[in-house]
A and B are shown apart, each in its own frame.
Chain A
Amino acid sequence: MFSALPGAVELGLLYALMALGVYMTFRILNFPDLTVDGSFTTGAAIAAVMIINGYAPWISSVAAFAGGLAAGVCTGLLHTKGKINGLLSGILMMIALYSINMRIMGKPNTSLRGSETLFADISPLLLMPIFILIVKLLLDFFLHSDLGLALRATGDNALMIKSFGANTDHTKILGISLSNGLVALSGALIAQQSGFADISMGIGMIVIGLASVIIGEAIFGAATVFRATLAVILGSIIYRIVVALALRVEWFDASDLKLITALIVIVALILPTFQRKRGQKKAAQKRSQQLLLSSNQIGRDGDR
């Protein structure tokens, strides 16, 4: 039962960067960015190819991050300057990246067996918690800077922040770019941990990211940015634990995973709407009773 736990935590930590990226676009910018499915593989491909060609793993990882940034800039430009619908600009980039990723790797699968990776001397379970914590704190700090505040307001009330002088096109591009940088970095780390990069490894990444964000926020809350980023990281880990447990159920196949993930997200998205509706109705019923009771009083008090 618990033999799978360290592995799940390890994967959760590696994917946490991707989840933070999805949090940036989906929650902060309010922009469902599907580029993620492509940029995750881009990161893995860049890192794998560079490592095989003898570059240091950390340089390869930084290059993967940069590749993700570039992919994000493209999506951002399509959406803001090209005025293409947000979902569609993400899908377009995702499709374009498929060919680009193929070009980077030259073949659908690149093995890293026998090459030195970031995790050659140190287990991901030791390295990742520290690394993730640093990334989280940097992100928290950024989102509380003047620029970060403008970025957050862009997703919250674009009209308002425009009237106070922020170019919302720029903040959007910046946010989408950073998000995809984190996603690509996550892909680079996953490739190094698993020992290969595969052209289809990014499929469904956006949904996994969403599941992590939603699970994390539901369990740990998202009252502040500090809390929300922590919740997203923990959500990513919990998601991997849930998956590990689900795979132990007799009649589940590994290929059922995406279905399970989709179901988690669907339930998590539908439930709050239902709860809110019911809550509002109850509150309205209670309030109308109060109003009925106090209506006599108002009549006596006159027009106030």
Chain B
Amino acid sequence: MLEVSNVTKLFNPGTPDEKVALLQIQLKLKPGDFMTVIGSNGAGKSTLMNMISGVLEPDSGEILIEGKPIHQLPEYRRSRWITRVFQDPMAGTSPNMTIEENLAMAYARGKRRGLKFGVTKAKRKMFQEHLERFNIGLENRLKAKVGLLSGGERQALSLLMATFTQPKILLLDEHTAALDPARAELIIQLTEEIIRELKLTTLMVTHNMDQAIRLGNRLIMMDKGRIILNIDEERKKRLTVEQLHGEFEQISGHKLADDKLVLGSSKRG
């Protein structure tokens, strides 16, 4: 489904500020794979996401979706296959437009945008049904401006917008990091349900080790632009947080350090 092959990206190459963001990254996702990505600050997780979605272009290497090379297409063209949920709840929605208008824009993904009404009766009904399943009351506020919603509600809406059109690839870039624990848990539950139901091929960056282990069928760990650990389906079932820490220190020679990193055993309220 998704293949990242020998992708390298350097920032400011040849200068004192040189930073190796990604070095010869190899990655292959089968249809329906749900991979979590963890790593220290500056490990290249976000760069990898930006590379796949088209915000950045690789210096070398290829990115393929269903065998087709896409790494030279601009971001807006890749949206035919790929959707994203960003870390910032403000990023994924348009604040001065209504909930139904936002959903209509997401619905138009991969289609030609013409002069037909964006929100029709039929679409409104469909949006309502999707929102009802989230059970957070948004189905009654279709005409409310998104800017009036809370961060959690906006992120739930972003998640729906990114998934209800069933993209080939779903990218989740620390999409619960900016939320309080209760909200984050709700979004994670919704994420899990949707991905399982629609069998979406997913790549999820997280700073929460517990999440990384609990969710998905595969896990990679990144450090200094490299994938240092690639855990397959069988091993992931038995993986613990302590093992993961041990592995990291052993391979990289330093402690896993992420100012946002949440260690596994945190209790939620």
Query: B114's contact among A141, A144, A146, A163, by CB below 8 Å, is which?
Result: A146
Are A162 and B269 in contact (CB-based, < 8 A)? no
A128-177: which residues lie under 8 A (CB-CB) from chain B?
A: 141-142, 144-150, 152-153, 156-157, 159-168
Are A144 and B76 in contact (CB-based, < 8 A)? no
Are B105 and A163 in contact (CB-based, < 8 A)? no
What chain B residues lie within 8 Å of A165 (beta carbons)?
76-77, 79-80, 108-110
A234 to B118, CA, bound (A): 27
Q: Mark B199-214, 1 if CB is under 8 A from A, else 0.
A: 0000000000000000
Q: How many residues of B contact A (CB 8 A)?
A: 35
**Interface assignment of B241: CB less than 8 Å from any CB of chain A:** no
* A145-B116 contact, Cβ under 8 Å, with A164-B79, A165-B80: yes
What chain B residues lie within 8 Å of A164 (beta carbons)?
79, 83, 105-106, 108-109, 161
Main secondary structure of the interface of B (DSSP, over half): loop
Query: A150's contact among B80, B90, B108, B117, by CB below 8 Å, is which?
Result: B108
Are B76 and A149 in contact (CB-based, < 8 A)? no
Shortest B265–chain A CB gap in Å is 16
Q: Mark B168-197, 1 if CB is under 8 A from A, else 0.
A: 000000000000000000000000000000
**Interface assignment of A303: CB less than 8 Å from any CB of chain B:** yes
Query: A162's contact among B75, B101, B106, B118, by CB below 8 Å, is which?
Result: B75
**Interface assignment of A83: CB less than 8 Å from any CB of chain B:** no
Query: A304's contact among B79, B116, B117, B269, by CB below 8 Å, is which?
Result: B269
- Among the 9-residue stretches B18-26, B91-99, B220-228, the one with 4 or more Cβ atoms under 8 Å from chain A is B91-99
Are B76 and A160 in contact (CB-based, < 8 A)? no
* A146-B93 contact, Cβ under 8 Å, with A165-B109, A166-B113: no
Are A149 and B97 in contact (CB-based, < 8 A)? yes
Shortest B71–chain A CB gap in Å is 17
What chain B residues lie within 8 Å of A149 (beta carbons)?
97, 101, 104-105, 108, 113, 118
Binding site for B on A (CB under 8 A): 141-142, 144-150, 152-153, 156-157, 159-168, 303-304
